[in-house]
Amino acid sequence: MPFPPRVQRLTAGIPVLLGLQFLTIHLKTSFPLAVFHPLIGFSLFSISTTLVHRTSHIVFPNHNQD
């Protein structure tokens, strides 16, 4: 069963954000990229909770009918 396009985009965004999270700590540049580290962490949390909310009715279709 294919997932909706928004769920697919959010799922594809998680590895991108994880890569950016890694780069913001390990890259040493003249501009401190570590400033974005908390923002990316919050974005990861937000995306993961949105994915759980959007896919729960697809994965567990009879859960809310009780």
- In tens, the pLDDT along 5-15 reads 999 999 999 99
Question: In this structure, which amino acid lies at residue 52?
Answer: V
**Six token digits for residue 34:** 């570590």
Question: In this structure, which amino acid lies at residue 43?
Answer: S
Return the domain boundaries, the chain. 13-58
CA distance 26 to 65: 48
For the stretch 17-62, pLDDT in tens is: 999 999 988 888 888 888 899 999 999 999 999 999 988 888 787 7
